[in-house]
A and B are shown apart, each in its own frame.
Chain A
Amino acid sequence: MPVVALEGITKAYEDKVAVNNLSFSIEPGQMFGLLGPNGSGKTSSIRMMIGITFPDSGNIRLFDQPFTRASLSRVGYLPEERGLYKKMKVLEQLVFMGCLHGLTRAEASARAVTWAKKMEIDGSLNKKTEELSKGMQQKIQFIAALMHDPELIIMDEPFSGLDPVNATLLQDTLLELKAQGKAILFSTHRMDQVEKLCDSIALINRGNLVLGGNLREIKRGYKRDRLVMEFEGDASFLNSTEIAEAKNYSGHAEIRLKDGADAQKLLAEAAAGAKIFRFELVEPSLEEIFIQAVGGKADA
């Protein structure tokens, strides 16, 4: 049973089509990446999923039922920018959000403290939100979205404003939630994060679905013509007739092979003049797949 399903939804603002006939679904325990450049329709799609706006056509189903506001009590939402009351203290803010989702004050307070400890912000619970850094505010926003233990977690650019340490903390928490069976959708234009975390993706550009489905399967559909080499010595092998394109970063080379090229032949050529530490045929990155898919016509 999909936790959320978009069935051919279209949304236009005046003459601009923000989302065009978009369909995908997310299963419990799935980490789903909604990808696309800025202005591609990610936020518009999310807003329709949580009932802020409504599609012009198509259907949205939450928990295998047509969309109703009552279903939103099972959804946690983290917006792209901070959606916090600046003058409120952190604990009050979290309790307020928890209570809005139906928790008692005591319950909300206890959960806020537990989450604050987990996210390493328990020392700031009695500070006003405006006194905290952007990263801290992002963590508060993250906790606010999870206070009521939602089954579907929707996060719009969750890693923005976070330093690498806190980004890792957030990633680990998301993986824990996934292991608990929560369905997680996050939108981002950072393809590397999606590649690392997501099982499935929907890649959209100018409101249209460009690629969608299981990430591994998508990647398997592309040729392994990428080669990463680490070497020391003569780099003249980079002019080999087997290579279509090569970038050499002082002993670290990223190579694209020609169609039908023989990688073993290239390895022999390289080994003749250089000491090889690494020679790996890799699948194309999501970013490369995206560029191929949109033909370099992204809006961003």
Chain B
Amino acid sequence: MPVNSGFASLSDHLLGVTMVVYALAMLGYAAEFAFSRFGRTSGELLAVQHRTVASPAVGVLVAAPDRVPVTVGADATEADASGGGMVGSGPTADPAAVALAASRARSAERVAEQAALAALMAGDGADPPTPTRALWVGRIAVVLTVLGWAAHVGSVTARGLAAGRVPWGNMYEFSSMITLVAVSVYLVMLTRARVRWLGVFVMLPVVLYLGFAGTVLYVAVGPLVPALNSYWLKIHVVAAIAASGVFLVSAVTTVLYLLKDRWENRLAAVAAGRADASAAMRTRGGIMMRLPTAASLDRLTYRVIGFAFPVWTFAVIAGAIWAEAAWGRYWGWDPKETWSFITWVIYAAYLHARATAGWKGRKAAMISLLGFSALFVDYYLVNLVISGLHSYAGVK
């Protein structure tokens, strides 16, 4: 198939535009964060911190083992029950009562948490107050993201038209597609919830990724090598790209979870009088305050991984079907296959960890990051350093 050079250069130019616009959007999100920090004096900030600590939301989260407040709830019920002259049951007779009380306590905490969270997350005028300037910068950043996204779609489409095939045939194209998926996921999330705070954290890896793709991984438009020319390729690669883009988002939320979790623990220490607010807390507090609670970040991560995992499973299986058609064996422990498998097993471990008491939170977050590292090895180190049958990287 002849390469259409007009579309090819259009695609390259559009990718350049995409990167610039994304970078501007990233600066915009960052500025919105920064401006909201300057909006208050440190004294005000600490006041807000104390208020937050006093609310049950952060209270329950900082008391690291979830059980503490729950037991309080249960005791209260028992006191309540015996105070009321309960008929026919001892203080600990009915575990259901304890559970109900616990659940009730949790729900009250949740409500308070939601409120605090809403306040912390709301970019528009809620507590902590965001200056109008910052709001506008944030809105412009969203508009820029959409524009960049449109240019990105254009670049990928032009690439496909130039080569007369699907635009995911080498690592440069994979990287472009993965970042496109990540930005799309972010934009979709933006329409459903107030997640503008996520912007800077998504755009940073996206811009870095694209920069890497556009320089190190770049190859001119060309046709597919025969081994890649199969409809299973399209299915397998689309699934792998989609899952990777979503995993990328989960890695971002995991890192944010870890940061926020640390911050909440510090805050608890300060609130309990065990520590003084450090200078860092005073200066960077504004940013941390704007992140959702660690618990909601943890849940968000779980949901994102729960979405990506079946897609990844499908990608691996579709890859095996394709391998069967191309090489006559569905699984051969080629380095690429091995690392896809390792990635899959680690994310399966993550899902198990979430269901296992004592492995939630920070340990699960570590597994999530481990899984993403394996994914990174799978995509980049395997192609660039370890070579195997899958050496279609197109990088010379």
Partners in one complex: no
